[in-house]
Amino acid sequence: MTGRTVLPLADDGEAADLAAFLARLIHYDRAASVRLQASGTALAVFGRPPSFEVLAVRSVRLAKPYENGLEDRLDVTVSAGELLECVDERAATAAVPAAVTGPAWAGILPPRGGWRPEPGLPAPDALRATVGAAVAEFRARTQELAPERRTRAELDRIGREIWSRTVADTGLPVRALHAAQSLGFLRPAPRSPGVEPLGLFSSGAWLRLRMPYGSVAVRRAGLGALDVSVR
Each residue's pLDDT tens digit, 113-161 = 899 999 999 999 999 999 999 999 999 999 999 999 999 999 999 999 9
15 vs 8: CA distance, rounded Å: 9
> Which of the four pLDDT bands, split at 50, 70 and 90, describes residue 193?
low
The whole-number pLDDT of residue 187 equals 86
Cβ proximity of 118 and 200 under 8 Å: yes
Query: Residue 176: enclosing H or E segment and its boundaries?
Result: helix 174-182
Q: What pLDDT is stored for residue 55 in this prediction?
A: 96
Mean pLDDT of the 3-8 span: 88
Amino acid letter, 107 = G
At residue 188 the predicted structure's pLDDT band, cuts being 50, 70 and 90, is confident
Question: Is the per-residue pLDDT at 77 higher than 60?
Answer: yes
Q: 219: which strand partners?
A: 206
Q: Please name which of 81, 74, 82, 80 lies closest in space to residue 8, comparing C-alpha atoms.
A: 74
Instruction: Point out the least confidently predicted range of 7-16, 130-139, 170-179, 191-200.
Output: 191-200
For domain 6-109, which architecture applies? Roll (3.10)
At residue 1, the pLDDT reads 45
The pLDDT-based confidence of 9 (bands split at 50, 70, 90) is very high
The residues, ordered by sequence, that sit 6+ positions from 86 with a Cβ below 8 Å of its Cβ are 1, 4, 94, 95, 96, 97
Mean pLDDT of the chain: 89
Distance CA 107, CA 218 (A): 15
Per-residue pLDDT, 69 = 65
Q: Return residue ranges of the chain for CATH 3.10.150.
A: 6-109
pLDDT at 51: 81
